[in-house]
Structure 1
Amino acid sequence: MNPDRLMQVILAPVISEKGTFVGDLNNQVPFRVAADATKPEIKAAAELLFNAKVDSVQVVNVKGKSKRFGRTMGRRRNWKKAYVCFAPGQEINFVGPQA
C-alpha cells in the first residue's frame, strides 16, 4: 500500500464519553477516517502511525444530522468511523515523544 495514501486514511481520533468507555473496556480507539477507506487500509495506517499491532477493525458509517439553516432545512455531511482494536499490551500515544 502507498505510504502517502495511508497517511491520509486516519483523519482524527473521536474524543467522546462513549469512545473513552469503549477504549477502556475493549482496548479499542475510535477514529474518524476517510469516506472511501477500507478495513485493510485502516489497519495498515494505524500500524504505520502508531507502531502498534492491530488485532481488528470495525467500521461504522455515521449519517449526517438534519439541521435548520435559517428557514431552509440542510444536512450535515455523512462520515465514517473506525473502531481500531489494538493487541493486548499495545498502547498508543496521541501526544508524541516528550522533549
Structure 2
Amino acid sequence: MKNPRDIIKRPVITERTSEFIEQLKYVFEVDLRANKTEIKLAIEAIFGVKVASVNTLRMPAKPRRYGRHSGYTSEWKKAIVQLAEGSKPLEFFEASV
C-alpha cells in the first residue's frame, strides 16, 4: 500500500469548505492517481476516524499570465470526505474555523 501521507497532500480551507465542517465533510487536495478507496483508507489511517463516503473532482488547469509570459496552473484533484455518523470531528480543521 502507498504511504497515506503521499495520497493526501493538504487540506483545502475556504469559506465554502468551512460550511461543510458542520456536516462532517472535509475537503483535501489529493494525488491525481489516487482512487476513492485509497483516499478513504488514507484518511482513516492518518486521522483515526471512520469515513462514510468520498467524492472526487479533477480541477482543470487555468491559464495564467505573468507579464508577457503565459502558461497554465497545474491540474489537481480534490476529494470531499464525509465522515460516518458518531465519528469525532477532525481537530485539524477546528482551529481554522
Cα distance in 2 for residues equivalent to 1:5 and 1:64: 26
Q: CA deviation at 1:7?
A: 2.5
Aligned length: 92
Residue 29 of structure 1 corresponds to: 26
Residue 92 of structure 1 corresponds to: 90
Q: Which amino acid aligns with 1:20?
A: S
Give the alignment of 1:13-24 within 5 angstroms. 13-24=11-22
Q: Deviations over 1:55-89 (max 9, x none)?
A: 00000111122111221321100000000000112
* Secondary structure of 1:52's aligned partner: coil
Q: CA deviation at 1:41?
A: 0.2
| TM-score (structure 2 length as normaliser) | 0.87
- Percent of aligned positions with the same letter in both sequences? 35
Q: Which amino acid aligns with 1:15?
A: I
| TM-score (structure 1 length as normaliser) | 0.85
**After the TM superposition, which parts of structure 1 deviate over 2 Å for at least 4 consecutive aligned residues?**
4-7
Residue 66 of structure 2 corresponds to: 69
Query: Where in structure 2 are there 5+ consecutive unaligned residues?
Result: none
Q: Which amino acid aligns with 1:6?
A: P
Q: CA deviation at 1:18?
A: 0.6
**Aligned alpha-carbon RMSD (Å):** 1.4
